[in-house]
A and B are shown apart, each in its own frame.
Chain A
């Protein structure tokens, strides 16, 4: 927003008071009722931990938020959250399976720095949670968002203390063998359905879709996106090749920042030995007359 307009508005508001017509007396700018704390004290968060006090954050004066914070970041605010979300996608591409779908539990701390000619690098301490279980694990990670002129995908390094070791081997083997033996190829659509319902038998295919989607979401992520998989629109099993189960997926991804639903088609392979791989990925236009939107900055 234009700074001049802001200043004019601020002056007018100060002169006219609240524009709200009321029967009772409204006192504009009245002091925060009930706040007895000293203005400089650091308020406590609901869980008793000290609320983070931002140091070295670039102050915005109401203009477009195009300057990203550096230094120590507030772990609750979006820059740290978006970077942590990228780590989640990375972990899924590395460790995900129909029985291991990683979600973000909490960001403990984060900082960001400009790396000359490379981009911006985040260092994060986070906890992740396997959606299929109840355990959380701590991870340290680094995310490098490349400068615009470079390749687009972020680069991630992460190490997790327990390395997501809930033992899924038996379940994975059983599923793998079961799918291989199928005489009719599996298929499903709307996983979960509009009401959030999903057949227990279809849950592994939902999780697999989520993991496969993370390959796309990792590749597409920037500091201005926050992706989750919204739904598996369609999944069709193909003939097994080279001992890899193969599936065609049509998934809907949700970007929280633009609020767009983006359609992708994926060719996915999986085996317990090789893990999840995405051989082909293709973005679909949102509607018949729409074009695939240009990549955001």
Chain B
């Protein structure tokens, strides 16, 4: 249970309510407020536009340098997983708030940058507010079909169109006509590749309470399996310490299902060793419609795991 006092404090400057789900416009204007409040730490980078021409903004946390080794975090690639986007918002605020006061985070940001894409699927997110709370995919039109959208986490160039994705446009796991066909995916691919110095790639989803590493597109162990598993278990131990929330750790393929065209498989194959995917609360009681009073507890416990991973990345340069 979150203390009432904590909830009051969590409202932050300007009174933004981190314990509520907000529409896109509210999140975008909050981003501008955050950047304005931390001009020496955060910049807002437009990495491209969505299918329906909405800007996609990444918050870049950096204390300087030129293309420092960087950590990537995306939330909300599947639009119905609302606690993911909400966790992204809280986490961005947390990084801004703790920079300068938390020794570990401050040291991390001395040598590394953090990039956060909070609304990785803006069109889908809007659609979940206006039309269908259970919408998962992008909103692109599929020629020859009345069904719209591609599953953006089956659209990456990693085992693309293999088992664990559908070739049917009406399916919620439709992989799309080709790898990176979705502009939302392509924008991220372009950023990561042109930057060239990402050391960690973390994608945040919901629900199931899992922390996973590659592969999804096949069930073979990646060469860094032991290390990734060890990091994952330590991160989950930290997460659990806050409220007792239990997570499982393992490769995507073994823990949840074989799924091709996933983002962290792509990032791992690109050489970004510390690639992880979270599935946040819960385990099915509320599922995608997690009550808003669980946002801050979820984000808070997840932060402990994220921090562990980031500290590990900082301490193990490659």
Contacts and interface: CB of A to CB of B under 8 A. Distances in A.
Interface of A: 1, 18-24, 26-30, 32-35, 37, 39, 43-47, 60-65, 74, 76-78, 103-104, 106, 131, 192-197, 228-231, 252, 254, 256-261, 286-287, 289-290
B163 interface: yes
Interface residues of B, number: 67
B288 interface: yes
A254 B288 contact: yes
B136 interface: yes
18 contacts: A20-B193, A20-B196, A20-B272, A22-B271, A35-B226, A44-B233, A63-B218, A65-B219, A76-B255, A77-B250, A78-B254, A192-B286, A194-B129, A194-B289, A195-B20, A197-B291, A256-B256, A290-B147
A102 B315 CA distance: 44
A30 B318 contact: yes
A228 B284 contact: yes
Contact of A196 (B172, B217, B237, B290): B290
B146 interface: yes
A20 B226 CA distance: 22
A202 B257 CA distance: 34
A193 B292 CA distance: 11
Interface string B199-223: 0000000001000000001111001
B171 A230 contact: no
Contact of B283 (A21, A29, A104): A104
Nearest to B163: A64
A289 B67 CA distance: 49
B79 to A, nearest CB: 12
A196 B270 contact: no
Given A76-B250, A194-B21, A194-B133, 13 more contacts: A1-B217, A1-B218, A19-B269, A20-B272, A33-B316, A43-B229, A65-B219, A65-B258, A77-B255, A193-B289, A196-B290, A231-B134, A260-B173
A64 B217 CA distance: 9
A261 B250 CA distance: 26
B271 A43 contact: no
Nearest to A106: B246
Given A196-B290, A258-B173, A289-B146, A22 B197 contact: yes
Contacts of B253: 65
Contact of B257 (A20, A33, A78, A229): A78
